[in-house]
Each structure stands twice: as C-alpha cells, then as structure tokens.
Amino acid sequence: DTAVSQTPKYLVTQMGNDKSIKCEQNLGHDTMYWYKQDSKKFLKIMFSYNNKELIINETVPNRFSPKSPDKAHLNLHINSLELGDSAVYFCASSPLWFSGNEQYFGPGTRLTVT
C-alpha cells in the first residue's frame, strides 16, 4: 500500500493554463510538504503545512497555492503556468514539523509546460 501517492505522474500543459496536482498520505502524519526539483536535481521546499499552520517559502510565486481538504491530503494548485514552472514536484509527509523527523516522499509529478 503506497504511503504517499501523487497524481498525475506526468502532466503536460500549455502556458497560461491552471493545473492541480493531488497528494494523499495514509501514514497518519500531521505535516505535509511540497517540493520542487529542478533540472539540476536541486530540491527546494515550497510549502510546509499542518492543520494549524502554513509556512510558505517566500520565493514561491503566489500563482502556487496549497489546498488541504483534510489531514491526509495536500493538493497543489498552479495558476497561469509559465515555462519556468517545468520541474518535478514532490509531495512529502512527516509525523511532526521537520525537527529531524523522517520525511516520506511521493513518487513525484513531472510537469512540462509548453
């Protein structure tokens, strides 16, 4: 049974479109994250979220927004997609805020903006 799942695995879309990536975790964790991995394999945190607090990396454009319908889900909405948004996006979860906790990552969603 997959611990952290993401859909879709691949997403190809045109500039200007709005898209969403879904993430679900069945680990019972309180905290979830979204990461962006660029073409050089550099992973950068975008958001960290639990049921009480959202921490946003200040470098993330406001076209990106996380939405959490419940503790097990954290979806990523992207408005007005740009070419530079092309990357692999990873969802992750952990029992608590970072503090040395293991993060469990999903398989990633490869987003290609044309």
**What does the binding site for another protein look like in residue numbers (CB under 8 A)?**
4, 33, 35, 40-45, 48, 55, 57, 90, 92, 97-100, 102-103, 105-108
What minimum distance in Å lies between the beta carbon of 1 and another protein? Answer: 16
- The 3-state DSSP class for residue 85 equals helix
Q: Kindly tell me which of 33 and 64 has the beta carbon lying closer to another protein.
A: 33
Residue 105 CB neighbours (<10 A)? 15
Distance CA 62, CA 71 (A): 23
What minimum distance in Å lies between the beta carbon of 81 and another protein? Answer: 22
Q: Kindly tell me which of 51 and 97 has the beta carbon lying closer to another protein.
A: 97
Residue 57 CB neighbours (<10 A)? 14
